[in-house]
């Protein structure tokens, strides 16, 4: 596919999504998309990115950046040399490498940094990068504490820098299609989103002889991570807020180390209910010893259900008037007719197994689009509108959920959040 | 225009399905509650999905012990099944035997002494009997409470009516074609009768915990797409006969069906809508 054809395809898709809704509802709900879709190609020179953290996730990001037409990796940084060595294959020969991020920031020639370090390091790396005059793209979740999340927002504002967080679902064509169909009223008012991220593995990486467990398995320790909440749930809580067009009013939850009793400190089993205005809810579960239901959000309205990960939309099966109830009504009005009973076709309240329809797909990679959007934001010195607020609230929701589980009590949405 | 009778209805879950009781005119104020209680008592006695008289009996039979039947409902159910053996050509058999080598005929059932035993490990499952029997008990409760007009349903596959339709004449029911639920397979007229529908296809047949239709002595379930419909004075008998019709071979089915109140339909996709065996 040529760049021109690709660009046309993507723009056509996004235009169709954005323009399809009446009154520009989609453009309002996804203000970042139009700007990202309009990203200029490399004509003005590629945005030069320094990547801090070249572990598994960092290397995946590097590969995505390589696919973009307006960004390039201009420096690598990791405190663990083997990670740098593995990342080298994805960048141009001679790309500078650093073991200290401050040293990388001190060199000239970078426009922005990409942060893919353990969660508890995000805030400091962001502060340091912005203090060095650079824009920041940071992996989700934003930070280990709600206070640090707010401080990152504040730092971006005071330094006048772009801060973008890696919530790629906001660029995902299927999610955009899903939101368009929700906004069009196809599944009726959404009152509940049931989200899950279920895996069946220890979530534990092997520790090389030259490293240690807390460094390699930082996701399993409280100092560095809130575990499932910040590493997985934050994606889906963002979707919940986005599709319900609100933030939660409060959250209740239960967390436990239920299966992997291997010395980890974070829960391997979480169940939470996030309440929204009007009685709406996001019901969230994540666990590490059963993968039957995998990763999914079930967006439930009175007329249908959307499951974005499966790319399906299901219409509610029309309620069949109960034959015997109708018979009662017939008798009351003096009307006699044959009673159409269900017979062997009747069965009460089993799950509906209709196959549904495809939501519709788009031919582009969402992670690539978010980086092209970031590149465009860096060039213009102006953040993609709406993105940071979504990310901030998703991180707050995930950390508030952790607090609710730790304290065993309902946590109300904080009133002290910074304004995005 | 005749005066419309007073009406009342009660819906609840029992016998693993949705039960509806509709009464029209006459009788005690608590007649529906009495009928509900009658059904719940049958459920409590015959269920194998929670501890019951039947599960206690099954424990004894599985360990080849002689069981004394102290539950009068369970004893009555066993007597009715025993009495219906000839009518169903011995094709209704509530016994469960993993090896499919023994059946009801292997049981030593002494109805006078209220004992039952078997030399081989065996158990009982009252699916294919229970709903119709429960409706029989509910009909009796309603009649004893003075109700002369009512419709009772257990999952819309087991129906019983008391008296004529509240507006006069027969109760008319349309039975759907499981292949095409919007199409009618047959219409039936009932007065003071019960109706049972069994099928090997349809939404209910795929339900969890739904027991497969087994021909006594045969190790494999009946897989041919078919449905059987039986009208009888007794709901329990209708239920047993419809099960027997499903599992019967063609020769036995011909002996069981009468084309009017006992029917079996071939539901292969290409079959015409109304085909008897």
**How do residues A240-292 score in pLDDT, each as one tens digit?**
999 999 999 999 999 999 999 999 999 999 999 999 999 999 999 999 999 99
Q: What are phi and psi of A39, to 5 degrees?
A: -55, 135
As given in the structure block, the two tokens for residue B276 are 């008897």
Q: Is the pLDDT of residue A4 over 70?
A: no
> ∠A27-A30-A35 over CA atoms, to 5°?
80
- Of the pLDDT bands very low, low, confident and very high (cuts 50, 70, 90), residue B273 is low
- Of the pLDDT bands very low, low, confident and very high (cuts 50, 70, 90), residue B207 is very low
Q: What are phi and psi of A211, to 5 degrees?
A: -135, -170
Distances (CA, A) of A124 to A52, A102, A142, A151: 12, 11, 11, 10
Query: What SS3 class is residue B125?
Result: coil
As given in the structure block, the two tokens for residue A170 are 């906001």
* Optimal mutation site among A329, A333, A343, interface B, most CBs of chain B within 10 A: A343
Q: Is the pLDDT of residue A114 over 80?
A: yes
Q: Is the pLDDT of residue B210 over 50?
A: no
Q: Is the pLDDT of residue A145 over 80?
A: yes
Q: Is the pLDDT of residue B43 over 90?
A: yes
- Is some CB atom of chain B closer than 8 A to the CB atom of A346? yes
**How do residues B92-129 score in pLDDT, each as one tens digit?**
999 876 566 788 999 999 999 999 999 989 999 998 89
Distances (CA, A) of B221 to A153, B48, B212, B214: 66, 20, 6, 5
C-alpha A35/C-alpha A12 separation (Å) is 14
Q: Which residue has the tokens 């990960």?
A: A309
- Is some CB atom of chain A closer than 8 A to the CB atom of B17? yes
A332 contacts B4? CB cut-off 8 A: yes
- Of the pLDDT bands very low, low, confident and very high (cuts 50, 70, 90), residue B277 is very low
Between positions 211 and 230 of A, the ones with CB within 8 A of B are: none
**How do residues A387-401 score in pLDDT, each as one tens digit?**
999 999 999 999 999
Report which DSSP code applies to B271.
S
Can you tell me the mean pLDDT for A341-349? 69
Can you tell me the mean pLDDT for A162-189? 94
Q: Is the pLDDT of residue A15 over 80?
A: no
User: For the ranges A73-87, B79-93, B178-192, which has the lowest average pLDDT?
Assistant: B178-192
Which residue is closest to A332 within chain B, CA to CA? B4
A324 contacts B20? CB cut-off 8 A: yes
- C-alpha closest to that of B114 among B76, B165, B167, B61: B76
As given in the structure block, the two tokens for residue A24 are 């520009």
Peptide bond into B71 cis (omega under 30): no
Can you tell me the mean pLDDT for A202-212? 95
Which residue is closest to A343 within chain B, CA to CA? B157
Task: Choose among B7, B20, B204: nearest Cβ to A344.
Answer: B204
B173 contacts A339? CB cut-off 8 A: yes
C-alpha A400/C-alpha B237 separation (Å) is 61
H helices, E strands: number in chain B: 6, 14
What is the b/e burial string over B168-183, where b = at least 16 CB atoms within 10 angstroms of the residue's CB?
Answer: eeebebbbbbbbebee
B176 contacts A343? CB cut-off 8 A: yes
CA distance B164 to chain A (A): 12
- Please name the helix (run of DSSP H) or strand (run of DSSP E) that holds residue A4, with its range, or none: helix A3-20
Q: Which residue has the higher pLDDT, A22 or A418?
A: A418
The domain A190-318+349-362+395-412 is classified under which CATH number: 3.40.80.10, 2.60.40.3620, 3.30.360.10, 3.40.50.2300? 3.30.360.10
Helix axis angle, B72-83 relative to B31-46, nearest 10°?
Answer: 80
Number of CB pairs, chain A paired with chain B, less than 8 A apart: 100
A341 contacts B4? CB cut-off 8 A: no
B157 contacts A337? CB cut-off 8 A: no
According to DSSP, the β-strands at A304-307 and A250-256 are: unpaired
C-alpha B124/C-alpha B81 separation (Å) is 11
CA distance B161 to chain A (A): 12
CB atoms within 10 A of CB B3: 7
Residues of chain A with CATH 3.30.360.10: 190-318+349-362+395-412
C-alpha B65/C-alpha B68 separation (Å) is 10
Q: Which residue has the higher pLDDT, A28 or B188?
A: B188
- Is some CB atom of chain B closer than 8 A to the CB atom of A337? yes
% pLDDT > 90, chain A: 76
Mean pLDDT in chain B? 87
Which residue is closest to A340 within chain B, CA to CA? B174
% pLDDT > 70, chain A: 90
Can you tell me the mean pLDDT for A43-65? 92
**Per-residue pLDDT, A346:** 60
- C-alpha closest to that of B109 among B85, B136, B88: B85
According to DSSP, the β-strands at A281-287 and A190-198 are: parallel
- Please name the helix (run of DSSP H) or strand (run of DSSP E) that holds residue B115, with its range, or none: strand B115-118
Spatial strand order in the sheet of A357-358: A357-358, A312-315, A304-307, A295-301, A190-198, A281-287, A269-275, A250-256, A411-412
- Of the pLDDT bands very low, low, confident and very high (cuts 50, 70, 90), residue B6 is low
As given in the structure block, the two tokens for residue B149 are 């007009």
**Burial class of residue A387 in the structure, from the number of CB atoms within 10 Å of its CB (0-12 exposed, 13-18 middle, 19+ buried):** buried
Distances (CA, A) of B158 to A112, A260, B32, B84, B276: 72, 49, 18, 18, 21
CB A250 within 8 A of CB A410: yes
Q: Is the pLDDT of residue B2 over 90?
A: no
A327 contacts B18? CB cut-off 8 A: no
A324 contacts B7? CB cut-off 8 A: no
B165 contacts A343? CB cut-off 8 A: no
Task: Choose among A334, A338, A342: nearest Cβ to B172.
Answer: A338
**Per-residue pLDDT, A326:** 85
Query: What SS3 class is residue B208?
Result: coil
User: For the ranges A143-157, A213-227, B99-113, which has the lowest average pLDDT?
Assistant: B99-113
- Is some CB atom of chain B closer than 8 A to the CB atom of A324? yes
Report which DSSP code applies to A69.
S
Residues of chain A with CATH 3.40.50.720: 3-170+365-384
**How do residues B233-259 score in pLDDT, each as one tens digit?**
999 999 999 999 998 988 999 899 887
As given in the structure block, the two tokens for residue A267 are 């829960």
**Per-residue pLDDT, A9:** 66
- Of the pLDDT bands very low, low, confident and very high (cuts 50, 70, 90), residue B7 is confident
ipTM: 0.85
- Of the pLDDT bands very low, low, confident and very high (cuts 50, 70, 90), residue B267 is confident
Can you tell me the mean pLDDT for B152-172? 95
C-alpha B9/C-alpha B16 separation (Å) is 19
Task: Choose among B5, B157, B166: nearest Cβ to A346.
Answer: B157
User: For the ranges A44-58, A343-357, B209-223, which has the lowest average pLDDT?
Assistant: B209-223
Residues ≥6 apart with Cβ < 8 Å to B40: B14
Q: Which CATH architecture has domain A3-170+365-384?
A: 3-Layer(aba) Sandwich (3.40)
- Is some CB atom of chain B closer than 8 A to the CB atom of A344? yes
CA distance A367 to chain B (A): 42
Can you tell me the mean pLDDT for B189-203? 89
Q: Which residues is A286 bridged to in the sheet? A: A197, A270
Residues ≥6 apart with Cβ < 8 Å to B241: B87, B88, B92, B196, B228, B230, B232, B256, B262
């Amino acid at each position: 596919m040529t760049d021109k054809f690709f660009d046309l395809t993507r723009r056509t898709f996004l235009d169709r999504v954005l323009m399809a809704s009446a009154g520009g509802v989609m453009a309002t709900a996804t203000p970042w998309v139009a700007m990202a879709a309009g990203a200029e190609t490399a004509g003005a020179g590629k945005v030069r990115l320094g990547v801090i953290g070249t572990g598994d996730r960092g290397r995946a990001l590097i590969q995505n950046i390589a696919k973009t037409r307006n960004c390039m990796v201009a420096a690598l940084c990791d405190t663990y040399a083997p990670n740098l060595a593995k990342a080298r294959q994805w960048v141009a020969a001679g790309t500078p490498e650093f073991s200290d991020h401050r040293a990388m920031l001190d060199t000239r020639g970078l426009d922005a940094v990409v942060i893919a370090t353990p969660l508890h390091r995000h805030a400091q790396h962001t502060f340091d990068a912005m203090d060095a005059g650079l824009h920041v793209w940071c992996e989700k979740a934003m930070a280990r504490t709600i206070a640090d999340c707010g401080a990152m927002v504040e730092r971006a504002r005071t330094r006048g820098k772009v801060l973008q967080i890696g919530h790629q679902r906001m660029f995902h064509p299927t999610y955009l299609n899903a939101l368009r169909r929700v906004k069009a009223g196809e599944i009726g008012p959404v009152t509940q989103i049931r989200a899950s991220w279920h895996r069946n593995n220890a979530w534990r990486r092997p520790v090389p002889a030259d490293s240690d467990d807390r460094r390699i398995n930082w996701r399993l320790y409280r100092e560095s991570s809130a575990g499932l909440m910040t590493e997985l749930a934050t994606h889906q809580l963002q979707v919940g807020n986005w599709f319900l067009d609100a933030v939660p009013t409060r959250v209740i939850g239960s967390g436990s180390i239920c299966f992997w009793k291997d010395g980890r400190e974070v829960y391997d089993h979480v169940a939470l209910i996030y309440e929204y205005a009007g009685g709406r809810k996001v019901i969230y579960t994540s666990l590490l010893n059963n993968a039957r239901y995998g990763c999914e959000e079930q967006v439930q309205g009175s007329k249908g259900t959307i499951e974005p990960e499966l790319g399906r939309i299901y219409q509610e099966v029309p309620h069949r008037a109960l034959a015997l109830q109708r018979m009662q009504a017939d008798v009351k009005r003096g009307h006699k007719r044959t009673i159409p009973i269900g017979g062997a076709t009747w069965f009460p309240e089993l799950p509906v197994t209709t196959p549904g329809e495809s939501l519709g797909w788009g031919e582009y990679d969402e992670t690539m689009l978010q980086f092209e959007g970031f590149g465009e934001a860096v060039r213009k010195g102006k953040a993609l509108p709406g993105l940071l607020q979504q990310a901030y609230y998703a991180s707050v929701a995930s950390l508030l959920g952790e607090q609710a589980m730790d304290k065993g009590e309902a946590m109300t949405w904080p009133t002290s959040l910074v304004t995005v | 225009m005749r005066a419309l009778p007073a009406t009342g209805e009660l819906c609840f879950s029992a016998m693993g399905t949705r039960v509806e009781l509709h009464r029209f005119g006459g009788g005690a104020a608590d007649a529906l509650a009495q009928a509900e209680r009658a059904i719940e008592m049958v459920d409590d006695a015959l269920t194998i999905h929670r501890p019951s008289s039947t599960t206690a009996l099954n424990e004894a039979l599985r360990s080849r012990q002689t069981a004394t039947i102290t539950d009068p409902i369970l004893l009555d159910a066993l007597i009715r099944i025993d009495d219906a053996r000839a009518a169903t050509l011995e094709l209704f058999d509530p016994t469960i035997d993993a090896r499919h080598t023994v059946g009801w005929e292997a049981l030593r059932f002494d109805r006078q002494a209220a004992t039952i035993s078997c030399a081989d490990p065996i158990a009982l499952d009252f699916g294919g009997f229970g709903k119709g029997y429960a409706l029989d008990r509910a009909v009796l409760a309603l009649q004893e409470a003075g109700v002369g007009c009512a419709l009772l349903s257990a999952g819309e596959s087991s129906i019983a009516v008391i008296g004529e339709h509240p507006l006069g004449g027969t109760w008319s029911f349309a039975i759907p074609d499981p292949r095409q639920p919007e199409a009618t397979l047959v219409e039936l007229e009932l007065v003071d009768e019960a109706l049972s529908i069994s099928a090997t296809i349809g939404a209910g047949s795929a339900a969890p915990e739904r027991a497969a239709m087994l021909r006594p002595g045969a190790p494999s379930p009946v897989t041919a797409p078919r449905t059987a419909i039986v009208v009888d004075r007794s709901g329990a008998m209708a239920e047993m006969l419809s099960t027997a019709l499903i599992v019967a071979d063609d020769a036995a089915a011909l002996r069981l069906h009468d084309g009017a109140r006992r029917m079996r339909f071939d539901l292969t996709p290409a079959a015409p809508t109304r085909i008897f065996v």
